[in-house]
Amino acid sequence: MNINSGIAKTYILSNRKLTAVGILGVLLGMSVYIFMNSLLVGFDKSSNKSIFRVNSHITVYKDDEISKELPKEKNKFFLIVNPTVVPNQNTIENPQLVMKTISQHSDVVEVSPQVMSSVFYNNGRTQIPGNAFGVVPEEANRMYHIESFMVEGDFNRLASNPNGIIIGSGIAEKMNVFLNDNINITSSKGVNRTFKVMGIFKTNNSVVDKSKSYVNIAASQQMLKEGNAYITEIHVNVKDQEKAEDIAAQLSKITGYKAEGWKSANETFMAANKMRKIIITFVSLTILLIAGFGIYNILNMTVSQKINDIAILKAMGFKGKDVVRIFVTQAVSIGVIGVMGGVLMSTIMITLLKKVYLGGDIGYFPIDYEPTKYAQGIFIGLFITFFAGYIPAKKAAKVDPVEIFRK
């Protein structure tokens, strides 16, 4: 072993208490960092999962338009005194062409048209307001994985059943209907129609579960007294959901319709996510930093305790950089042991928590071993310990032996 590391080792072993405190600090900081950040990723994944049960990555629709000024003409100025929304049909013209254009975008993986209509679910004299979504069943299932949150029935039966409907569990409860029962619906255009319940889903978003139903797109068009070219929304899924906003902007430009990414559509929700992320990042980094201060303190203490040793070593021909190595080795050893302990500890904590069943929307505790967070934690942990050791070591390297010997 190199003499510098040999000396570092002796210092580590001869001051076990201090070393243990340092290691424990890093270990705790490290495990909290990895654990909390893995938790964050878990939360995000689970909340994204519930978002994507009801949202596509991008929704393309016709936005309301405000009346605009007319083009300027010579010697004439137009002034709009009271701009209002232009009465217009909220429908996409020539949807087949628009959909084709969208699906040619290289990032787009799934395109599905929808016809949304406001309806009343009739139960005797009571009426429950809600929305019936006309979809192409296979496409909708690919997009929202509806099959995965069905509680009764089979979503695929919708395709072969023009009169079929899949309803939210809240509606089923209120209306007291079961699988294969009939349910009567009135649309905003006054069309009345009876559907057969092919299945019941539960997203665990109670608002959705109490109002939403899926029908075939043709049925929905008929309810609105429209033809088969009538499409209110085009839903789009892309390869990387994180890029949805950018792609939405591009689609908006290409198609001329409003395209909105899932993040803008769920702004409040995303803001809450962001806040959670900031808080957890801040707290976990602070804890790691405190562990770094611990090491800094310990090294500072060691340097002051060993100032005589440093003077002797320098007198015997140890260079400044040898002294730096001795103390940095000490710090990094504490850091490495602490980091390994922290990795082990957080893995144990995640393993235990993963098994905790919470029920409800979430199911098992939404945490998993996140390799990137492990890597990040290890990197930051070692980085901090290195610097926490380097600063006192640099100080030690500057010790003037003559000054010490004179005392």
Partner 1 sequence: MSSVLKTENVNKFFYDPTEFQVLKNISFEVQKGEFLSMIGKSGSGKSTLLYILSTMDTNYSGALWIDNQKMTGLSIDELAQIRNQKIGFVFQFHYLLPEFSCLKNVMIPALKLNQLEEKEIEARAYDKLKMLGLEDQALKPANKLSGGQQQRVAIARALINDPLIIMGDEPTGNLDSRNTNLVFDILQDLTRTYGQTIIAVTHDDDFAKKSDRIIEMMDGEIIS
- Residues binding partner 1 (CB under 8 A): 3, 6-7, 10-11, 14, 308-309, 311-322, 401-402, 405-406
Burial of residue 248, with CB atoms counted within 10 A of its CB: 0-12 exposed, 13-18 middle, 19 or more buried: buried
Q: What is the closest distance, in whole angstroms, from the C-beta atom of residue 38 to partner 1 in the complex?
A: 41
Helix axes 137-144, 16-54, angle to 10 degrees: 170
Q: How far is the CB of 371 from partner 1 (least distance, A)?
A: 41
Report yes or no: 103 and 111 within 8 Å, Cβ to Cβ. yes
* Sign, CA torsion 342/347/349/350: positive
Nearer to partner 1, 44 or 322 (CB): 322
Asked if residues 187 and 221 have their Cβ atoms less than 8 Å apart, the reply is no
* Cβ neighbours for 148, distance < 8 A, ≥ 6 positions apart: none
- The smaller minimum CB distance to partner 1, of residues 9 and 193, is found at 9
Shortest spacing between CB 294 and partner 1, in angstroms: 22
Contact 235, 114 (CB under 8 A): yes
* Smallest separation, CB 20 to partner 1 (Å): 17
Work out whether the CA dihedral 246, 248, 252, 253 comes out positive or negative: positive
- 218, amino acid identity: A
Contact indicator for 116, 195 with CB cutoff of 8 Å = no
Torsion of CA 91, 95, 100, 105, to 10 degrees: 0
Smallest separation, CB 348 to partner 1 (Å): 35
Q: Name the phi and psi angles at 3, rounded to 5.
A: -60, -35
3-state class (DSSP) for residue 259: strand
Q: Smallest distance, Å, CB 310 to partner 1?
A: 10
Q: Which structure tokens are listed for 347? A: 């893995």
Cβ proximity to partner 1, 41 vs 404, nearer residue: 404
Residue 21 CB, nearest distance to partner 1 (Å)?
A: 18
Which is nearer to partner 1, 256 or 320 (by Cβ)? 320
Minimum Å gap between C-beta 1 and partner 1 is 9
Question: For partner 1, which is the closer residue by CB, 16 or 125?
Answer: 16
Nearer to partner 1, 68 or 319 (CB): 319
Q: Based on CB atoms, which residue is closest to partner 1, 225 or 321?
A: 321
* Cβ-based nearer residue to partner 1, 225 or 319: 319
Q: Which residues contact 216 (CB under 8 A, 6 or more apart)?
A: 134, 135, 136, 137, 158, 159, 161, 162, 164
